[in-house]
Every structure is written in structure tokens, then in C-alpha cells.
Structure 1
Amino acid sequence: MKFTDFNFDSRLQEGIEASNYENATPIQEQVIPHILEGKDVIAFAQTGTGKTAAFLLPLINQMLTRGTDPHGINCMVIVPTRELAVQIAQHLEGLSYFTSVSSIAVYGGGDGNSFVQEKKAVSMGADFVICTPGKMMAHIKMGYVKLDSLQYLVLDEADRMLDMGFYDDIMFIIDHLPKKRQNLLFSATMPPKIKTMANRILHQPVEISIAMSKPPEKIVQQAYMVYDEQKIPLIQHMLKEKEYRSVLIFCSSKLSVKQLTRELQKKGIKAGEIHSDLEQDNREEILIQYKSGRLPVLVATDILSRGIDIDNIDLVINFDVPHDGEDYVHRIGRTARAAAEGSAYTLVSVKDQRKFHSIEKLIGKEVTKIGLPEHLGEQPQYTPSAGRNFSGGGKSGAGKKRYFNNKGSRHQ
């Protein structure tokens, strides 16, 4: 199912396309229609299945089409950790880039100055407040948080919040919210205490459970730690070093597809490209050449990660780390189909290390890391816990009418 099938507001659709999303993951397919209908939802799904976009997209759409109160908080997303709050805020900033939707992340661990900035934001109002329970409870106790117009409540990684002892904090927050609201609860597991909490918070919820698929064991998975400028020379080296019958290379953007294809062709490698800028007739012709073996290398966006019916692909290369675990499984699942053997290599840049580590945890397997050829120079160390993904914030707010940056100031 494509994101265009949901008939989102055109401003949101522009943000979806700019984020290089085309096909919905299973949880997005199942959850989004229910949220758009205004129903409460309890969904059981692992991190990496695309669940963040599963609730952000329909909620952004509701705000764009139904309107919001500019002087109050319209949606509260409660999460267990500062890191997750920042991650969701950045994700939201990207998806809502072409809209007027505002947001602020509120979490502990800051100095007194950040507390003042957060106070200003939650008292002036914001469309989305993404917060940790303890910090939000502290603000509510001060008496200035505008909650009267809240329409949506999201509890993300609810089982983890309960494991961390946040039950009382969460219930304190909920007791201060309007009774009439839409509630969404996401959890990786289904312990009895989650059911108990759901019964207290949710009203006639739709229950959805998504099992995370795993890559077939016969796929040999390996990863290279690289700097961005090493990616294209590395792929050129790999394809010159060994002859493959059929290679499929995935890139997250059309720009990368075009650039990589051009550089491979310059080296005499027979490569074709598929992305959404191509006419359907051209796509079909390239696919025919690829399936027949006349074109040994195909470079594509995720448009081909699902449903492509080719059984003899012996190498899949991820030019960059996919958006989430579900996409990773679908991409590398293009090789080792039927009785064939296959390999999958992922090129992991410094900024994508944490994302790749999350995928490893999701598939329950540590992917083998391999060294670069000497002529490409030194490679970065694999240190996903260093938290590089969260430095520098998200995209800027250019093009927005109003939004909150992470310092809590409103821009007109």
C-alpha cells in the first residue's frame, strides 16, 4: 500500500515524499485508517516497524484538516526516554516540514534555562508536545500547562515506561487531561499490566498486533563502516573485484540512485536505475532487461523493496541504512529467494550507526562488520552508543508558518 492511498492533506504528502517514504509498513497499513476514523488504538509492535510514522502521519493530517487551538496543547506524546523524545521530535519536524504544525520536546536532564524555555512553550501552546513522564508531571504541578484543548494522547513504548516505574506519573498526567480525547497506546510486549492500564485509559480500542519478520538465515549479512565519500568507490571496487550475475542496490533517495548509477556507468559497469521520476514504460523496460540478465546491476529506491518477483538476485547492497527494521528485512529479502544463496551488504555512515544498531537488535542478530580495501583509507569505528544521531537537531523550520524549535521559542 502506498502513502498516496491514504489521501493525506497535500502539505503532509509533500513532507512524506521529501522524507523518501513510498510504501506503508504493515503496522502503518493497519493503524493509520483507524486513527483517521478517530478510534482509540492499542498496538503491539517492535521498534523499527515504522510505528512512529503510524501515529504521527494521521495525527498531523487530523490537525491540518480539522483545525487546532493555537493557544493550547493539542497532542501529547509520552515516551520513556529523552533520546526517544528527541528522535520523535526530529521525525515529526521532517514529516510536517511543509505545514504549520508546531512541536516541542520536553524532557529531563537539562539546566534551569531549558526549564524556563519549556515552561514558555507548554503555557503558550503547541500542536505536539513530546515528553517524558517525570518532566511533564513537574510542569503540570506548577499549574501553567494548557491542557483544556488536548484532543490526542499517545503512549509510546508503554511497556518500557511501566518497567521504569512511570505508572503513577502517567496516571497523574492523564488525570489532568480532558476526558474526551483520542488515545493511542503502543507497546512491544503484552504483559498483564499493559492490559490493566489500557482498560483504564482507552475507550473501546481497536487492538492490532504486528509480528516482526526476520531475514532468512541463508542470507549472509555483512556491513561496512564508511565515511560518506567512501561509499561510491567501495561499491565500484566490490563490483569490479567479483563478477555477480544479478546485483540490486538500494538507495534512500532518488538523487543517490541517479548519482550512483552515473558513477558506476563511468567505470564501465552495466547498471540501470529505477525510481519514481521514471515513466512506467521505462521502469518496465529496465526491469525486463534486469530479469533477463542483460542488465546485471540495478540501482533503485525502496519502490522495489517489496513485491519484486525475481528469484536469482545474488547480492543486495544497501547504499545507506534503511528507515527502519521492516525496510531492512524487505530490502535484503530480495536475495536468497527460493533455493538460492545470497549476500547482503550495508554501508553504514557515522550518522547512521545508531539506526543500524537498532536494526540489529530488532532482527536479533549482530551483523558481521568487515574492513575496507586498503586503497580506500581508514574507516570509522562502530560506536553506536556514542549517540551521534541526536547531535545538531532536526531540519530547520524554513517554510513553516509557526513551529517550536527544541529551545521552545515560537516562530511566526
Structure 2
Amino acid sequence: MELDDDYVEYVPVAKRRAIEKQKILQRKGKVSQEAEKESKPSLLVQSTQLKRDVLSATDQIIQQEKEMMDHLSDKKTLISVCELSKGITYTEPMLTNWEPPLHVTNMSREQIDLIRKQLHIIVNGEDIPAPIKNFKDMMLPRPVFETLKEKRIVKPTPIQVQGLPVVLSGRDMTGIAFTGSGKTLVFVLPLIRLALMEEKRRPIGPGEGPIGLIICPSRELARQTYEVIQQFLAPLVEAGHVSLRSLLCIGGVDMRSQMDVVKRGVHIVVATPGRLKDLLAKKKMNLDSCRYLTLDEADRLVDLDFEDDIREVFDHFKSQRQTLLFSATMPTKIQNFAKSALVKPVVVNVGRAGAANLDVIQEVEYVKQEAKIVYLLECLQKTSPPILIFCENKADVDDVHEYLLLKGVGAVAIHGGKDQEDREYAISSVKAGKKDVLVATDVASKGLDFPDVKHVINYDMPGEIENYVHRIGRTGRCGKTGIATTFINKNQSETTLLDLKHLLQEAKQRIPPVLAELNDTMEEAESVANASGVKGCAYCGGLGHRIRECPKLEKQMSVAISNSRKDYFGSGGYKGEI
């Protein structure tokens, strides 16, 4: 069909009106607002373009890391369900009747800052109590002071100089210090004083208590803490003070003996999370009158394995309590998570959180996997016994233990698969000098005190740098020096080895060639650390990577995802292909 040359396409009425309106506005010298809207990008697009243009690469990394930390912190809080549901918040710390001597109270700001600078103490918080440089001025009960002298503890360590006044004054606290720095006394001595005061004010009756609760991640650490408390309680009774009852609440021990103490009324409980949760759930014990809570090795307790248990324990508190957290490694992630449980907390930091003990000489040696067990005998000759050997898994512990026994070495072993009686025998025999070598998994790396150990051997380099710091901290305690020998080979990930390299650099230790040759990408990240104020990884504390490449975070996310998956039959996980 032929087209008419005079054909004009039909234009709808609405469109013709819009065209006429546009012509009129143009004649008046104005621009149509509708046309302007169409030509300009949206505010969201403008914001994205502005951020892309203005933010440097460093700023983008910092912003990404902050968003990751906020996401991790917002998902979980360390608050009881009851307090959360009722909207209960505590704004002021608990008050105590403890007061320092007048000359301590009258110290000037310059004097206080000088003491902290001399002892390398970093504090953060509001209205922080002044440090006290001797036990006499801490106004402790005389029998406690005399017991310290008998144990040849005559001068407080840096964490005790600042930590004890903070805890005695009733403040919530996060204590970070090197392994072997005396953190245990910082929370034990104020608890004993508080229990004495409460017993004199209103005696504990049958089935009542405790006044104070100390939670530890392992049975061995709980028993060690319990024994420290017992050393101070007996002299108090001999001096005429009221009798205080303490309880060791751990698994692997007959519950009936523990219940006998609870029925009489208990003042102080030292517990592991599993057994404590069991007693509370069965209503065999309550926390109605508990006003003092300590999480020892807090980074381990609020980690993936114990996090839910700790939150369940918090649900049993009926009122405000003084909460203390202590550890040698306290990554930013843990500190942010724990803030929800603390009221106007004071952070006392002696050295960087996660730094290695400077009194330990760290030696790193490249040893092939098949040659490690043979080379182990040569390493044992470096120092006199006792010596600790750490392995990653139970099977390696058993293999090394058997090999040493065949070679005539007096060795004992400890891991989570052994009976409680065997575990206690292993620890006590090494401490008493009856055995020369203890072979263990990381169950023996957290907080245990072996005063005479001069040498720690890492038969396996741990996958997380936090565990390495805790392991080598079993030597070089309380001002003594020690040696830590670590075997590495191609089985370790490059991220772990980079963390180790930076830890050695920080402690001014010799860097072996195999670590020096590693491709180090953290040099580029120094500007990020300086700008963000976070050195290394904020999640695990490793210095060789940032949080975006954190192997611990990646591993825990994988575990969380696998645990959340359910098959169609509700069996709780994948059964595999049929």
C-alpha cells in the first residue's frame, strides 16, 4: 500500500498538552522541572558516585571492616533474656565500702600518669581509680596480706597495681595483660574481701549463695583458681575471721560431693560452663544473691564453643552484679561483644592485647612433618625439665606420649578425651616434679601456671595465633625467662605463618629465613591500621592479616552455616549422597 506523503502521526491529547506546556516554559526562559528531574541522577546514585570519587582505598577498607564488626557485634549481646525483655539497664556501677588511703586519694593527675607510664599501663574509662604501688595501701584483710608475704609476693605486678583498685572500688573491668602477669589475684583478692563483708553483714544460710562466681574455660584452670582461693581462706579462719566456703564446680567429678557444699551454703564458686549450667538448670543452685562475676580467659569463654552457655548463666542473675573479664588475648570483637554486659567499664591494658610475653625467647624451626617426632628428642635437650609439648589433636598427643615412653622419657599426657582422674594426675605430677614432660592439647594452654617450666615445644603450630600466645605463655611467668620452640612446615597456612612473623617482629625476636621470605601484604595495610586505630585483625588479634582475610572468622562462619543446615528428615545435617 502506498503511503500518503501528507500523513501525520497521531499524537495523544496528553502528550500534545505536555509539548505545548514545554514550549510555553521555554519561551518564558524557564526550564521544566520535569525535564530537570529526568536529566539529573537520583540522590542515591549521586551519593554512590560521590563516595566512589571521594573515598580513598584506605577509607573504603576501614569502612568495610567497620561494617563487618558492627554486623558481628549487633547480632549478639551478653545480656540476660529477662533484663532484655523488661528493658532493664544499669547505668551506675556497684558501690563498695572500700576506700584507699588518703595519700593515694590526694595524688595529682601528673603523679598518676607517671606511675602508669612507668609501668606501661594503658587505661580507658570514666573516673578511673588511682593506681596503688604496694599491697599494704590496698586495705586488704591482714591475713590476706600475711599470706602474700609468705608466698613471697611482696610487690604487685603492673596489672595488679591498676586492676586491684579498680575491682576493689566496685567497677566493672576488662583486664588485658601478658600471660603469667598475676591476673588471678586481681579478681580473687577482692572477691574474698567482698565475701567476708557480706558474711558479716548477713550470714549465708543452708542452700544459699554464692556471693561470687568465677567461670573458667577448662577444668584444670578452674581447679588451679580454686586452689589459689583455698590458700587464702585457711589463714582467715586461723586469724579469727568467719569461715568462708568455696566450691569447685567442674565436670568429671561426683556431683553429690558438690551438692553437699551447696546445701550448707556457699560463698565462692569456681566453675566450668557445662557443669554450672547443669546445676542451675536443675535448680540445685541459684544466683539470686550473686553480685560478683568473673570470666577468666574471657576470649575463650565468649567464643563460639561457650557463648550460649555463658548467656544461659546470665539468665539466672536476679540483680546487678560486678562483672570482670580477664585474658591475655582480647580482640576488639570480644571487647565490643562484652560491653553489653558491663556498666561504665574500665579497660586496663598492660601491653597490646594478644602480644607475646617478652620474657620468652621464641625459636621457630622448619621441620618436615615426618621428621618432627625424631627431632623432638633433640629439642628436649635444650633445657632441664619440666617441659611442655603442645599438639593440635588428641591422636598426636597419644603418638608423641607413646614415643617418649618408648625412649625412656618420664612423660604424661592430657587431652579432652582422658578421664578427669588421669588429667589431674598428669598436671599434679608435672607440678610436683615427678614427671619431666607433659604432652597436651590446647586444654592445658589457657591460664595454667607451671612456675618451673623453662621450655615449651609447639609440636604443631596452632591454626590460630591466639592459641600460640597462650601456649608459649606457660613459660617465662612472673618475671622468669623461658624458651619456646615451634615446628613449622608446609602444612601451615600462609596467613598463620604471617601472623607468627609479625608477632616475632613485635617481640624483637629472630625471624627465620622461611618466614622472612613470605610475601607480606601487610605493609600495604599499615596505613589502614594507622587510620583505623586497629592493628592487625580486629576479630582474632593476628598481626599478619586484616579481618577480611581472617581464617578464624571464615572457619567459624563455615561451622555456623553447617550447623544451621537441616535435611528433609530433620536429622540436623547432611547425610551425604545416597
> How would you bin the TM-score normalised by the shorter chain?
0.5 to 0.7
> How has the CA–CA distance of structure 1 residues 172 and 214 changed in structure 2, closer, same or farther, with 3 Å as cutoff?
same
Question: Is there any run of 5+ residues in structure 1 with no aligned partner, and where?
Answer: 227-347, 369-412
* Secondary structure of 2:180 counterpart: coil
- Other-structure match for 2:359: 215
C-alpha displacement of 1:358: 8.4
Q: 2:174 aligns with which of 42, 45, 49?
A: 42
C-alpha distance in 2 between matches for 1:53 and 1:352:
28
Question: 1:141-174: per-residue Cα shift (whole Å, max 9, x none)?
Answer: 1012132111100000011223461000001001
Corresponding residue number in structure 1 for 2:189: 57
- Within a 5 Å distance, the mapping from 1:349-388 to structure 2 comes to 350=433, 354-357=450-453, 361-362=472-473, 366=483
5+ long unaligned stretches in structure 2: 1-132, 237-242, 362-381, 387-430, 437-449, 457-471, 477-481, 486-578
User: Are 1:15 and 1:96, in contact at CA under 8 Å, matched by a contact in 2?
Assistant: no
Evaluate the alpha carbon distance shift between residue 129 and residue 157 of structure 1 in structure 2; reply closer, same or farther with a 3 A threshold: same
Task: Provide TM-score, normalisation by structure 2.
Answer: 0.39
Find the aligned partners of 1:196 and 1:109 in 2 and give their Cα distance: 33
User: Partner residue of 2:69?
Assistant: none
Q: Give the aligned partner of residue 154 of structure 2.
A: 22
Q: Which residue of 1 aligns with 2:204?
A: 70
Q: Does 1:125 align with 2:254?
A: no
CA drift of 1:18 comes to 2.6
Give the aligned partner of residue 219 of structure 2: 82
Rounded Cα–Cα distance in structure 2 between residues aligned with 1:9 and 1:225: 38
Does residue 361 of structure 2 align to residue 224 of structure 1?
A: no
Root-mean-square deviation over aligned CA pairs: 2.9
Q: Which range moves more in the overlay, 7-16 or 170-179? A: 7-16
Q: Matched residue of 2:136: which SS?
A: helix
1:101, distance to aligned residue in structure 2 (A)? 2.4
Q: Secondary structure at the match of 1:30?
A: helix
**Residue 124 of structure 1, CA deviation:** 3.6
Q: Is the 8 A contact 1:223 1:367 kept in 2?
A: no
Residue type at the aligned position of 1:102: R
Match of 1:122, SS? helix
Q: 2:312 aligns with which of 150, 161, 172?
A: 172
Partner residue in 2 for 1:406? none
Give the CA deviation at 1:45.
2.0
* Equivalent AA in structure 2 for residue 15 of structure 1: T
Give the letter for the 1:48 counterpart. Answer: G
Once the 2 structures are TM-superposed, how far is the Cα of residue 138 of structure 1 from its aligned partner? Answer: 0.5
CA 351–367 in structure 1, closer or farther in 2 if over 3 Å, else same: farther
Distance 2:162 2:151 in 1: 21
Which structure has the highest strand share of the two? 1
Q: Which amino acid letter does the alignment assign opposite residue 185 of structure 1?
A: L
1:271-286 mapped onto 2 (5 Å cutoff): none
In the alignment, is the contact (CA less than 8 A) between 2:454 and 2:483 conserved in 1?
no
| Partner residue in 2 for 1:105 | 248
Which runs of 4 or more aligned residues in structure 1 lie more than 6 Å from their structure 2 counterparts after TM superposition? none
- 2:152 pairs with 1:12: no
**Equivalent position SS for 1:224:** coil
Report the alpha carbon displacement of residue 179 of structure 1 after superposing the two structures with TM: 2.8
In 1, the alpha carbon distance for the partners of 2:267 and 2:215 equals 14
Distance 1:44 1:145, change over 3 A: same
One-letter amino acid matched to 2:230: E
TM-score in terms of structure 1 length: 0.53
Higher mean alpha-carbon deviation, 116-125 vs 355-364, is at: 355-364
CA distance 1:208–1:9, shift in 2 (3 Å)? same
Q: Residue in 2 aligned with 1:308?
A: none
- CA shift digits 1:324-363 (9 cap, x unpaired): xxxxxxxxxxxxxxxxxxxxxxxx9616974334885226
Aligned pairs, how many?
A: 242
| Greater RCO (CA < 8 Å, at least 6 residues apart) | 1
CA, structure 1 residues 69+151, in 2 after alignment: closer, same or farther (shift >3 Å)? farther
Once the two structures are superposed, the pairs formed by residues 296-375 of structure 1 within 5 Å of their partners are 350=433, 354-357=450-453, 361-362=472-473, 366=483
Larger radius of gyration: 2
Query: How far apart are residue 123 of structure 1 and its match?
Result: 4.3
**Cα distance in 1, alignment partners of residues 148 and 346 from structure 2:** 25
User: Is contact 2:360–2:484 with CA below 8 Å preserved after alignment?
Assistant: no
SS in 1 for 2:483: coil
* Contact 2:195 2:268 survives alignment (8 Å): no
Instruction: State whether structure 2 residue 321 is matched by structure 1 residue 181.
Output: yes
Matched residue type, 1:103: S
Amino-acid identity (%): 33
